[in-house]
Amino acid sequence: MYLTRMLLDPAKRDTLRALNSPNLIHGAVELAFQGVRDRTLWRIDHLAGRYWLLIVSSSRPDLASAAQQFGMDGTWETLDYNPFLNRIKEGSVWHFRLVANPTKSCPVREGQGIGQRGLVRAHSSVRYQKAWLLDRAEKHGFALNEDNFNVVQTKWNIFNKGGANKNRISLLGVTYEGVLTVIDTGVFLQSLTQGIGRGKAYGLGMLTVARPMGEIDG
C-alpha cells in the first residue's frame, strides 16, 4: 500500500473549482493509475491554511498531470504505507481523522415494508452524525468513547456528474477527529485501506491515524 500527498494551489482556477466539485479530483486521481484500477481512497485536508490531497492506493500513482493542474509546485510525495500499517496492533490507541458521509435510509412512503429500499438521506445534526460512527466502530475494528471524538467540520458537495444538468449529486462530508482504540487489527487495517461509508469515489471514507501527542511507537 502507498500513501501519497500533494499540496494544492488555491490560486489556480481549476483548484478552486475542484474544491467544490470533487468529481474533478476523482477524474485526476483515476488518471494517475495505469491498468486495472483498484478502489482508491482520497480526500482533501485543509490544515494550517493549506489544502492537501491525500491518496491511499495499492499501486504507486503518477500525479504529473494532477500536479500541473492543481498542485502548488508540481511535485508530490509517495511513501510506502506498509511499515506504518505493520505497527498497528490490537489495543493500541491512536488519534484519528475521518471524512465520511453519514447517512440513513428513509421510507419512500408511509407504511413501506421491511426490506424495501428507502431514500438515502444524510444525517444533518451532530448528535446523529456521532451516533452513526459509534454504531459502526466495532465492525470496523475499533472502539470509540463518545466523549473522545467530535465533529469538527461539515461541508455539502453539490455537483453534476457527467456534465451540466446531468445526474446532480449532493454529498455531505463530515470530518471527525478524536481518539480510538484498535480492537481487531485485521478488520481495522481494512478500514484504513478500504474506507468507511459511502462516497469513496468523491473524497469520502478515508480514515487516517497518528499517535496521540507525546506517545512514541514501541
CATH code of the domain containing 188: 3.30.70.1210
Judge whether residue 192 has pLDDT over 80. Answer: yes
Q: Kindly state whether residues 9 and 29 are assigned to the same domain.
A: yes
pTM: 0.88
- What average pLDDT does range 38-67 have in this prediction? 93
Mean pLDDT value of segment 194-213: 92
Q: Which run of H or E residues covers position 46? A: strand 41-47
Q: Do 70 and 95 fall within a single domain? A: no
More confident residue, 175 or 214: 175
Q: Please, what is the angle between helix 13-20 and helix 22-31, to 10°?
A: 110
- Kindly list the distances between the CA atom of residue 176 and the CA atoms of 4, 66, 153, 161, 206, in Å, as whole numbers in the listed order: 21, 27, 7, 26, 11
Query: Which CA distances in Å does 132 have to 55, 122, 179?
Result: 24, 10, 16
Check if the beta carbon of residue 205 is closer than 8 Å to that of residue 195.
Answer: yes
Q: Which amino acid, 7?
A: L
Q: Report the pLDDT value the prediction gives residue 216, as an integer from 0 to 100.
A: 47
- Look at 36 and 214; give whichever has higher pLDDT: 36
From 60, 84, 108, the end of a domain falls on 84
Residue 196, SS3?
A: coil
Same domain, 155 and 118: yes
Q: What average pLDDT score do residues 16-26 get?
A: 91
pLDDT value for 125: 87
The pLDDT confidence band at residue 38, using thresholds 50, 70 and 90, is confident
What's the pLDDT score for residue 122?
Answer: 73
Q: Give yes or no for residue 160 having a pLDDT over 70.
A: yes
Provide the residue range defining the domain that includes 75.
2-84
Domain identity same for 147 and 70: no
Question: Mean pLDDT across the stretch 24-45?
Answer: 88
The pLDDT value recorded for residue 218 is 43
